[in-house]
Amino acid sequence: MANPNSENFLLRSLLIVAAGFWVFGHALQGGWLMDDDFYLTQNALMHDPARLWKIWFQPGSLIEYYPIEASLQAMQWQLWENATLGYHLTNLVLHLTGALLVWKLLAKLGLRWAWLGGLLFAIHPAVVESVAWISEFKNVLSLPPFLLAMCDWIDYEEHGRKRDYLLSLGLFLIAMLCKISMAGFPLVILLYAWWKRGRVGWSDVKASLPFFLVSLVLGLTTVAVGNWFREAHLQPTAPPYIGGMLSHLALAGLSISFYFSQCVWPVGMLPMYPLWPVNPPSLVQFLPWPILMGVLGWCWIKRGSWGRHALLGLGFFLINLAPFVGFTSVTYMTFTWVMDHFLYLPMIGIIGLGVALLERADETMMPSFRPLLVGGMALTMAFLAWGSHVYAGMFVSQEKLWTYTVERNPSAWLAHNNLGNALFEAGDVRGAITQYEAALAIKPDILEAHNNLGLALSLEHRPAEAIDQFELALKGNAHFTRAQVNLGNVLLSSGRTAEAIAQYESALEAYPDDAEARENLAKARALLKSGDAGK
């Protein structure tokens, strides 16, 4: 295989790019998905003339303090607005840039077949969610500066140039301002120091301190900004209760094993995977931990030879995966424990390890068996590319994605609710009602589904049932503004004008700028004043 300095560099680069465009051809035609409305289409900040100032200097303007990512996404909105092709092309180009940089990084680590790692990263099914989902722009944007920072750090280690050190620090800062999950970089460079010299000295720790400072400051800033935003703009929600310490420990082990399996055998990909019951955990659910400790211990014993390289790959994987395995409760865990886009950075460690294993196999096997190795790799790449191509096709529309999901994970209540929304927007109100009811049968306390079902029932001229659903939503959260407005609308159309006025007034107390509530309140007051309220 080749490295980026060989005469075949251009041809191999073009192959990576062509493979990426083939894999994601369907997704380029995809529409808005999941929470793209939250970040873009219904985000008032995208239309605010002072958006760039607010993104950088007004805490709470966005739920995450990713100012570079948010600024570039706002610029994209000015360019493309609702034309999704531009966003998808941007995501894909950034992803392919990342794939080429994976090749560069692995080559700097001494892998002769580094190009294979870049190709594998470009077409792996686990990256589909990050590339095909517009809101995961933060993932594909943050990876190139992270990889460039790592390459510059290696150059600094090799040559001791201050310029390389400052470049690495600056690029790491850029990566962190794109997405906070890049925060594991300081631990990675200490791991690299151990891999290179067999120890971590005081000079290594001292050199890493500015990187740790960047991680700490931006990490705390992101947490604080997120809290401000939730208090100001979102309905209050508590993280899910997973269980006690043992439940979290079991979940973390299961998540690590799941993510590892997705790297090496990526089949059955889903945007929402089933929730494993971990409260209370069963004894067998702790099995991943002794297996992991045994593997790491074996690698440590063999650290004088192959174990050192294995620990570098596994360490990179575990360091960057650690925030997403369930040691703490996070809001997304109400509907799934694991999501593929969390693998986007960590899987590079497993890819590097796989390439190293293939190189070792090539070195030790008899020459007559090498065609079998090459053929096996070609078949594996074809299998992965085809799987990614098919899965990327599911991201073309909300209806297709969530139909695919509920067929394979019928317990995914959020997927049922999202499919209901897609059917509702397409005009299939009865189909939407079926999906909302399915979501509530799984999880009866979904306030959003109660509100959505109430809205659908009102369009089916079933006002009494609609009112019941809105009241259930408000019973769970008395300040659920959209449910208040929707309830007011049904009450108004049913002639219960005074009750409708009370709902509109309550909604406007929380959100004075709600145009629908203000307009309908004026209409209701006029009806009440004219004496036509009950007609």
Q: Is 431 helix (H, G, I), strand (E, B) or coil?
A: helix
Residue-wise pLDDT for 369-407, tens only, equals 888 988 999 999 999 999 999 999 999 999 999 999 999
The average pLDDT across 214-225 equals 88
Say whether pLDDT at 235 is over 60.
no
Q: What is the pLDDT of residue 532?
A: 59
Q: What is the pLDDT of residues 457-511, one digit of tens each?
A: 999 999 999 999 999 999 988 888 889 999 999 998 888 988 988 998 888 887 7
383 and 453, same domain (yes or no): no
Tell me the C-alpha distance between 509 and 501, whole Å.
12
Residues 212 and 254 in one domain: yes
Q: Which domain holds residue 44?
A: 9-396
User: Tens digits of per-residue pLDDT, 441-453?
Assistant: 999 999 999 999 9
Is a pLDDT exceeding 50 seen at residue 250? yes
pLDDT value of position 1: 43
Per the structure block, which two tokens stand in for 489?
């609308």
| Residue 272 pLDDT exceeds 90 | yes
Q: What is the pLDDT of residues 287-336, one digit of tens each?
A: 999 999 999 999 999 999 999 999 999 999 999 999 999 998 888 898 99
CA-nearest of 310, 319, 317, 368 to 346 is 317
More confident residue, 456 or 42: 456
Residue 396 CA: distances (Å) to CA of 26, 400, 401? 7, 7, 7
The domain boundary residue, chosen from 346, 375, 396: 396
Q: Give me the pLDDT at residue 232, please.
A: 58
Q: What is the pLDDT of residue 35?
A: 85
Q: Which segment of 129-143, 342-356, 510-524 scores lowest on mean pLDDT?
A: 510-524
Dihedral over alpha carbons 112, 118, 124, 130 (to 10 degrees)? 150
Please check whether residues 143 and 129 belong to one and the same domain: yes
Task: Give pLDDT, residue 395.
Answer: 95
At residue 532, the 3 state secondary structure works out as coil
Global pTM reads 0.92
* Same domain assignment for residues 378 and 504: no
110 with 33, same domain: the answer is: yes
How much is the average pLDDT of 265-289?
95
Does the pLDDT of residue 533 top 60, yes or no?
no
Q: How far apart are CA 287 and CA 292, in angstroms?
A: 9
Residue with tokens 């399915």: 438
Look up the CATH number of the domain holding residue 421.
1.25.40.10
Assigned domain for 4 exists: no
| pLDDT tens track for 149-189 | 999 999 999 999 999 999 999 999 999 999 999 999 999 99
List pLDDT tens digits, range 90-130: 999 999 999 999 999 999 999 999 999 999 999 999 999 99
Residues 390 and 425 reside in one and the same domain:
no
Same-domain check for residues 456 and 362: no
Closest CA to 416 of 458, 446, 460, 454: 446
- Domain-terminating residue out of 376, 396, 416: 396
- Residue 85 inside a domain? The answer is yes
In a domain, 2, yes or no: no
Residue 445 lies in a domain: yes
**What confidence tens digit (pLDDT) does each residue in 9-30 have?**
899 999 999 999 999 998 899 9
Cα separation of 279 and 225, whole Å? 31
Tell whether 454 and 505 lie within a shared domain.
yes
> Are 243 and 278 in contact, with CB atoms under 8 Å apart?
yes
In the block, which residue shows the tokens 């979904």?
446
Same domain? 303 vs 426: no
Name the amino acid, one letter, at 143: L
Same domain, 372 and 406: no
Question: What's the number of domains the chain is made of?
Answer: 2
Q: Is 87 exposed, middle or buried (0-12, 13-18, 19+ CB in 10 A)?
A: buried
| C-alpha–C-alpha distance, residues 431 and 436, integer Å | 9
Residue 282 lies in a domain: yes
Contact 266, 124 (CB under 8 A): yes
Counting residues of the chain whose pLDDT is more than 70, the rounded percentage is: 95
What rounded mean pLDDT belongs to the chain?
A: 92
Residue 449 is assigned to a structural domain of this protein: yes
**Contact partners, residue 466, CB within 8 Å, separation at least 6:** 454, 455, 457, 458, 486, 490
**Of 330, 365, 396, which closes a domain?**
396
- Reply yes or no on whether the pLDDT at 48 is more than 70: yes
In a domain, 357, yes or no: yes
Instruction: Tell me whether residue 49 is in a domain.
Output: yes
Which of the 8 DSSP states describes residue 27?
A: G
User: Do 59 and 208 have their domain in common?
Assistant: yes
Same domain? 429 vs 363: no
Q: How sure is the predictor about 535, in pLDDT bands with cuts at 50, 70 and 90?
A: very low
> Is the N-terminal amide bond of 280 cis, ω within 30° of 0?
yes
Q: Helix axis angle, 114-123 relative to 370-392, nearest 10°?
A: 30
